[in-house]
Chains A and B, each alone.
Chain A
Amino acid sequence: MAEIDREKLLDIYTRTMKVNRTDEKFRELLMQGKVAVMYYCVRGQELVSAAAMAALEPDDYVVCTYRGQGEQTAKGIPLEKWWGECLGKATGTCKGKGGTMHITDPDTGIMVTTGVVGSGLPIANGLAMASQNNGDGRVTLVSFGDGAANIGGFHEAMNMAQLYKLPVIFLCQNNRYGEHTAYADHTDSPDISSRAEGYGMKGVKVDGNNVNEIYPAMEDAVAHARSGKGPVLVEAMCYRMMGHFFGSDFSYMPPEHLEEMQAEDPLPKLRAAMLERQFTEEELDAIVARIDADIEAAVQHALDAPLPDTDEIYKDVLEEVN
């Protein structure tokens, strides 16, 4: 396997740490009681999101889920708008009307964030169908979890995407839990990726905690979809290192699972991979410091931002036609 280009590796690292520091900051604000909203932590899945977004072009489409912070910030939603939306402010991406589970920012290609498990896959097909219809060369990536693989829409979408050879990448972030139910308690087959074969589709399973596996796999999948060969199902093995949502109990996770996931934490592994490629500790720390400063400024901007006017509840229901 070819080594990841050094510049690209730095890009992936930067995106990964942006996701991680955003997650840390969100949990800090929630712990301090400065913010009281639903938030679905992405600790443990930062690298998968970052590598996937790094493999896309800026104008490619993305559909994600309520646990979509990774895709959203790694794709490049301006942090002020992202935090504004999460805090329900008029300055948010959706004027405070979507919230943490429904971040939308077409300018950066974040077309839908769905709060319904599995509903993104059929919509991703439509975005890809539009690209196929008008020949704009875009690909669409849809991210979802292992839990979503068991809803009917998954099957319908996979079959349709392959039938039409749509330029779509189905990224299953197998974080081993569907809400609070462990993988083995919701699925008997050893993996999700092998289902691709049943649709005549290309499917791959990769270690989502290892940059040298996940990034090349994403790059290949994107190239395959963009070339017109059709969709790809990528199953990225990772861990959800927190509960289903912030504050929810996860004491049900067995101790051996916790140990396994600590050992597989993608962040120390990525750091080591960076050092191995002759990036220095100082360089990497400086990147994190810059990200932290950007996040601090964005959070402050959002905290200071005005609330949406109450008459916003009447707007954007239907197009206003005069």
Chain B
Amino acid sequence: MAEITMTEALNKAIDEAMAEDDGVFCLGEDVSAKQGGGVFKVTSGLSEKYGEHRIRATPISETAIIGAAVGAALAGQRPIAEIMLMNFVGVCMDQIVNHAAKLRFMSGGQTPCPIVIRTTTGVGVGFGGQHSDMLEAWFAHVAGMHVVTPSNAADARGLMRAAIDANDPVVFIENILCYGLKSEDPGPGYRVPLGKAAVATEGSDISLITYGRTVLDALEVAGELEKEGISVEVIDLRTIAPYDEATVLASVNKTGRAITLHEAVRPFGVGAEIAANIQEKCWDTLKGPVRRIGGTFAPVPFATHLEQAWIPNKGEIVDQIKASVGKT
């Protein structure tokens, strides 16, 4: 089987969904061929194939982009709206939170809002405080939407198809540093169901629960610690909200220890919610407190060494795991 990058995986998923359903269309800044097919090339080649009505390059107007996606979805279409960088959701939160997420409920089920909001972010590329944040917790806190992020190219292909199929809004987070990751191509029609975590590697001493780019760190650490006799089970949530509670709890009940790990800042984060839930539901099997690892509670800094100090690193993950299992 051929290998594909995450960029190619996303492109293929969107391409095949557009080929199958005339109601699927993309809108966002710089997405068509006239602007180079998207700043990260995810929509490359699609305007040539489907025309500029279905790959709509928009003005820099995030509220109008999401509003248009909401309206088109109410009329039965399946828009894929791109917010170029995740921090820019601050410009259009009203459309996402007050409208996209709530219209199914507030209409008594009459107007579901099947939109995919693709957005890119990530710490580690020197973009500084307004282009780097992982803001998944903002959306995980809102009823009425899914929040998804892939950690590898195959999942990216499968999650994107599932997100386009979904009859509710999906915030689809792509990490800049993951676009070049390669997987074996799972092929056309591949889907990863929303709400299903993956056990990225099995282990018996501790559960490390994470998602997105930090899955790579977690797997690396798990490989290193195996040599020291510590068996780490890595859970890749894939869908952050609503998350796969059954897989998480089963893993923790097996290992008796848990750490949550994400790039987003630690306070009030997704890890805090999962940790609280584990402590409520796995109290009898827990051998110690659930620990949380996350970004520093400060804006993302610019200088490389500051940025690296800000982000959770492998050393910190190793230390926390050893402290948890009692080996220092």
Contact = CB atoms under 8 A, between A and B. Distances in A.
B223 interface: no
B128 interface: no
Instruction: Count chain A CB atoms within 10 A of each CB in B22, B59, B63 and give the residue with the most.
Output: B63
Given A123-B74, A160-B68, A319-B112, A112 B59 contact: no
Contacts of A105: 110
Given A94-B110, A130-B76, A159 B59 contact: yes
B137 to A, nearest CB: 18
Contacts of B58: 160
A111 B99 contact: no
Interface string B225-259: 00000000000000000100000000000000000
B72 A133 contact: yes
B193 to A, nearest CB: 9
A97 B99 contact: no
B63 A112 contact: no
Nearest to B62: A156
A236 interface: no
B75 A127 contact: yes
B232 to A, nearest CB: 32
Contact of B61 (A127, A132, A160): A160
B47 interface: no
A282 interface: no
A125 B64 contact: yes
Interface stretch (B101-109, B151-159, B209-217, B264-272): B101-109
A116 B110 CA distance: 20
Contacts of B95: 119, 122-123, 153
B71 A130 contact: yes
B20 to A, nearest CB: 16
Contacts of B59: 156, 159-160, 163
A106 interface: yes
A127 to B, nearest CB: 4
Interface string B75-100: 11101000000000000001100110
Given A126-B69, A319-B167, A94 B63 contact: no
B54 interface: yes
A267 interface: no
Given A95-B108, A98-B106, A160-B68, A127 B74 contact: yes
A228 B27 CA distance: 21
Interface residues of A, number: 47
A275 B74 CA distance: 42
A126 B103 CA distance: 14
Nearest to B98: A116
A233 interface: no
B110 A104 contact: yes
Interface stretch (A6-14, A215-223, A296-304, A310-318): A310-318
Contact of B109 (A115, A129, A315): A315
A123 B94 CA distance: 12
A44 interface: no
A73 interface: no
Contacts of B141: none
Contacts of B303: none
Contact of A125 (B71, B110, B144): B71
B261 interface: no
B72 A153 contact: no
A251 interface: no
Contacts of B74: 106, 111-112, 123, 126-127, 130
Given A112-B111, A119-B95, A133-B23, 10 more contacts: A105-B110, A106-B111, A116-B98, A123-B67, A127-B71, A133-B54, A156-B59, A156-B61, A317-B143, A319-B167
18 contacts: A93-B110, A94-B110, A97-B106, A104-B108, A106-B74, A112-B99, A112-B111, A114-B98, A122-B71, A125-B71, A126-B72, A127-B72, A129-B68, A129-B72, A133-B25, A133-B72, A160-B68, A319-B168
